[in-house]
A and B are shown apart, each in its own frame.
Chain A
């Protein structure tokens, strides 16, 4: 057994570890180091400037705006998406009451819903963002045309051009494309809940709402919690970047009405030539991400239910 064990271990680890270190770990460490310099990214020269970048951060209005938007994403997106998904998943799996001679089952057409709801999840976020950019188009977009058709022309607006609506329009797209994923995720978790629980609850006279809050949700808590973190990371990371960068002009929207932290990092580094300052914003983003995960894990700690 022991023969050649270490040679084997080293042989298997060396290539992946090298790639991972060069492309992920090393840049990551570097970026924290760069946040204490005045590097522009355009020339190789830079000097250490201590906490200057972090001080600059405090008086940067656009940074605060981005932070505010990212926090709004972080709080609102998981809440809306997960609530909707829990409702749909519950209906699809437990909502039906008179079918197939079984205590609990999905409503009619539940497998159809599961397939269709998942559609947006397999599409690229870039494609989804483009599609909605056209749908929101004030002149030829389908949304304004649909409002016209149902007699709500008064509500028409330049969805992405209006600072009042731009951020909400972007958030709606993120909800649109993630709900289906959570429906399927929660459905998978719901099918593992023993049916007897539901039968017992129904005999005790529980209605659907009670059943949901007393049985389904507590037993699903672990999944909801990991879903919450997953959604939070999407809301702070690549998905939010893609949606805002593609959909809103500028990019970042009218008067920075839609900038989020990852987009602001990108703009500072690759548009404004302030690479060091960009990494400082990135560190702020890292702090927010870690704080979010810590809070969710802390709040979510409950007695684990075995079944």
Chain B
């Protein structure tokens, strides 16, 4: 494609006409015409690049399709022909997983824990961020770095003593204990993200509210929080997915079988059902846990992507 920059060769026109034409239209149309006419180097590269794109798409989708397919098969055909489509749709795999394999309980536990911790994280995180972003007081910088410092250290290191702190305070294996831990470990990023967000909001509205006699608390809840909605949604999605998918915290802090959340429940299920040989039930459970998040992602695709990437870009 070294020739891509030269002006398009159009034999019927004089040189000056060609230049004139090339200048009045999008210069790249010219190169594109030529490229397609020539094929050659660009063509090979295109085939390769498109091939890679398609290949990766297949590699992403295949395991998921395979799981869905397997969840409808009976145990024997899972072993004898892993790739063939199910001969009949065994919906009882799903109902078995939902009721007997405790998937319903795991869902319920996860909903409670994530619901509680998400509300807590958003409320407390935005309170901290607002104070740190908008008020000048001694220690402001110190608290800021204290909070965001938590983003860079390995969580597993703190989990060892935390396990014993929680066991001494009776918080081990409780839902509220897990909620508090989720909130604590979500605060660094939430604070970090929202602090810069609150700093970027205009000050005049909040000042006007204060002059009108609103208290600081009222200004925060009635003026600033509504203004911060886009930021709250981004970081909310980020926290929701993180907490819904959390595995390490519950594995360490939540070992009571009755309190299990979805991710650890599935892993336990894989261990126990594996012995029983109920592979189809296991796959049904796996797909059950997978589909709601995937469906939500496809529906709210734009917001999810914006939320997650805003998180990492900051």
- Contacts from A to B (Cβ < 8 Å): 1, 4-6, 8-9, 11-13, 15-17, 19-20, 22-28, 30-31, 34, 41, 84, 87-88, 91-92, 95, 97-98, 101-104, 107, 109, 112-127, 130-135, 139-142, 145-146, 149, 176, 179-181, 184-185, 188-189, 199, 202-208, 223, 226-227, 230, 233, 236-238, 241-242, 245-246, 262, 265-266, 269-270, 275, 278-279, 282-283, 285-286, 289-290, 293
Contacts and interface: CB of A to CB of B under 8 A. Distances in A.
Nearest to B190: A16
Contact of B147 (A20, A109, A176): A20
A285 B159 CA distance: 13
A122 B95 CA distance: 25
Given A19-B184, A115-B298, A139-B79, 10 more contacts: A11-B217, A13-B127, A23-B165, A115-B301, A124-B263, A275-B161, A279-B160, A279-B161, A282-B154, A286-B157
Interface string B30-69: 0111011000001001000110110011011111101100
A238 B28 contact: no
Given A131-B67, A180-B60, A286-B153, A16 B187 contact: yes
Contact of A265 (B124, B143, B156, B251): B156
Contact of B181 (A9, A23, A127): A23
Given A16-B127, A207-B1, A181 B308 contact: yes
A12 B128 contact: yes
A185 B155 CA distance: 25
B160 A265 contact: yes
13 contacts: A8-B217, A23-B180, A101-B29, A122-B304, A127-B266, A131-B67, A142-B62, A145-B82, A189-B313, A205-B5, A237-B154, A285-B154, A289-B153
B67 A236 contact: no
B305 A124 contact: no
B203 to A, nearest CB: 11
A87 B53 CA distance: 9
Given A22-B184, A27-B165, A124-B289, A116 B60 contact: yes
Nearest to B6: A205
Grouping DSSP codes into helix (H, G, I), strand (E, B) and loop, the B interface class, with mixed when no group exceeds half, is helix
Interface in B128-163: 128, 130-131, 135, 137, 143, 146-147, 150, 152-163
B131 A9 contact: yes
Given A20-B150, A282-B156, A131 B63 contact: yes
A149 B184 contact: no
A184 B60 CA distance: 15
Which among A26, A119, A189 has the greatest number of chain B C-beta atoms within 10 A? A119
Given A124-B263, A181-B308, A203 B26 contact: no
Contacts of A95: 49
B49 to A, nearest CB: 5
Given A88-B52, A98-B36, A132 B157 contact: no
Nearest to A233: B152
Given A41-B160, A226-B312, A179 B56 contact: yes
Nearest to B296: A122
B247 A25 contact: no
Grouping DSSP codes into helix (H, G, I), strand (E, B) and loop, the A interface class, with mixed when no group exceeds half, is helix
A119 B83 contact: no
Contact of B263 (A13, A102, A126, A204): A126
B143 to A, nearest CB: 7
Contacts of B72: none
Nearest to B171: A23
Contact of B248 (A4, A8, A28, A241): A241
B157 A126 contact: no
Interface of B: 1-6, 26-29, 31-33, 35-36, 42, 45, 49-50, 52-53, 56-57, 59-64, 66-67, 70, 78-79, 81-83, 124-125, 127-128, 130-131, 135, 137, 143, 146-147, 150, 152-165, 180-181, 183-185, 187-188, 207, 210, 215-217, 220, 241, 244-248, 251-252, 262-264, 266-267, 270, 279, 283, 286, 289-290, 293-294, 296-298, 301, 304-305, 308-309, 312-313
Which among B70, B241, B270, B305 has the greatest number of chain A C-beta atoms within 10 A? B305
Contacts of B156: 237-238, 241, 262, 265-266, 282, 285
User: 3 smallest A-B Cβ distances: which pairs?
Assistant: A205-B5, A282-B157, A23-B184
A203 to B, nearest CB: 5
A116 B61 contact: yes
A145 B80 CA distance: 10
Contact of A118 (B125, B290, B305): B305
B213 to A, nearest CB: 10
Contacts of A92: 53
Which among A118, A176, A179 has the greatest number of chain B C-beta atoms within 10 A? A118
B160 A31 contact: yes
Given A131-B67, A184-B309, A22 B165 contact: yes
Contacts of B185: 23-24
A102 B264 CA distance: 49
A28 B153 contact: yes
Nearest to B220: A12
Nearest to B127: A12
Contact of A12 (B64, B130, B266, B279): B130
B139 to A, nearest CB: 10
A130 B284 CA distance: 13
